[in-house]
Amino acid sequence: MQLPIRLAILSLLGGILSLPSRAMAADGGGGGQSFISAMNPGISANGLFLAGVESDDGTIQPASWTGKSQALAGKGETYGTGISVQEMEVQLTAAVDPYFKANMVLSIPGTEGIGVEEGNVTMTAVPHLLLNIGKIKEPFGRENMTHTHALLTIDRALISQKVFGSEGLNDVGINAQYMLPLPWYSQFTLGFDAGQNDVVLGSGNAGGLGYLAHWKNLIDLSDNYSAEIGVSGLTGLDDIGGRSVVGGADITVKGHGSNHHQWNRLIWQNEFIYANKTGSRANLSTDDRQLGGFYSTLEYSLTRVFWLGGRFDLVGLPGATEKSWNGGQTLAGTAIAVLAPTEFSSFRVQAQRQFLPGGHTADSVTGQLNFVIGVHPAHSY
C-alpha cells in the first residue's frame, strides 16, 4: 500500500508544480496576455480640441468651420475665432503573423466625414529590409510622416502646406526601406504611389505614378547629442500636362541634459523644400511653376512636463511676385508653450503672425487640448 500512496502524493505534487506552466501556456507564453486579447489589435483614440481668436488685417475672423474667414494670398492654415474640433483619430495596430504587421488610422477632420489616413501592412521578415504596402504617410523629409497631434506646433509648416496640401504627401503606394551597412544608422527608401496628391501631382492618368526616394542618417555627436540628416526627392506627372519635381533636405539636432537635468531636452529641426512644375495646359509664368521655402523649429524642455518652442517659416523664392505660386513671399513667426502632465494629455498655447504678400497680416492665438486613450504606439525618434 505504501507504493501507491507514494505515487499518488508524487502525482499530486507534480500537478501542483505544473500549474504555473499550464497557465502560461493558456496565456500564450507567459506574457500576461490571454489568447483572446493577443488576437485583438492595439486600439487607441486621439482628439484635438481648439479655442482661439484670429485677426486678419485687424479684423476679427469668424470660426473656421463657417468657411467665411478672409481669403488672403499666401496665408497658411488658420482656425478662426471660437471653439472647434481640429481632428479625431482612431488607430489600430497588430502583428498579422510572423511576417507582417498592420497599421490603420481612421481620421475625422472636424466633426464630419471619416477617412483613411493610413492603412498599410509592413513585411518584417527580411533582415535589414522593410516593405510597406497600402496607404502611407510617405517618408519625404522630417515633418510629413508626423501625425498632427505629435507636432510641436498646432499647425504644419507653411512650406509643407503649400507644396503638399493640408493632408501632406499621403497616398496609396509601395515603398522599401533598406538599412545600409554603414557605421551609423542609415536608411534608404525607394517607393512609388498612385500620384493622387492634388497639389504637385494629380495628373489623373492611369500611369501617372509618383516616384519617391529618401535617405535618412542618424549620427551621434556626443553622449547627449545626436543629428539626423536627410534628403528627399519626388517626381511624377502633374495636373497641367507636365512633370513635377520636388526636392528636400532636412537636419535635426537633438540633445538632453545629464543626471538631474536629464529632462532639459533640446530639439532643433530644419527643413527646406523646393518644387517645380512643368506643363502646357495652363498659362503659367516661370514663377508660378516654382515654389521654395523652409521652416525652422526650436523646442526646449524646462521640466519633464513643460516646454517652450517656436517656429520660423519662409515661403517663396527670392523675387516672387503676386503672379507666383504663393502669390508672393510669406514669412511667419510662431511661439508655443506646452504642458504635458502625462504622455496621454497635453495643453498647447500658440501665438502666430503671418506676414503675407501685399502687406497683409494674419494674427492668431490658439489653445489646443490633446488627449490619447488606449494603446497608442510610440512615434518615430
Domain boundaries, the chain: 42-374
- The pLDDT score that the predictor gives to residue 68 is 54
pLDDT per residue as tens digits for the range 232-272: 999 999 888 889 999 999 999 999 877 766 688 899 999 99
- The pLDDT score that the predictor gives to residue 162 is 93
Whole-number Å distance between alpha carbons of 310 and 296: 8
CB 294 within 8 A of CB 273: yes
- Phi and psi, residue 297, nearest 5°: -115, 145
Closest C-alpha among 161, 159, 188, 192 to residue 174: 192
Residue ranges, the chain, pLDDT below 50 = 1, 3, 7-10, 12-31, 287
Paired strand residues for 274: 247, 292
- The pLDDT score that the predictor gives to residue 380 is 66
- The pLDDT score that the predictor gives to residue 154 is 94
CB 246 within 8 A of CB 272: no
> Beta 345-355 vs 243-255: how paired, if at all?
unpaired
CATH architecture of structural domain 42-374: Beta Barrel (2.40)
Amino acid at 225: Y
CB 313 within 8 A of CB 332: yes
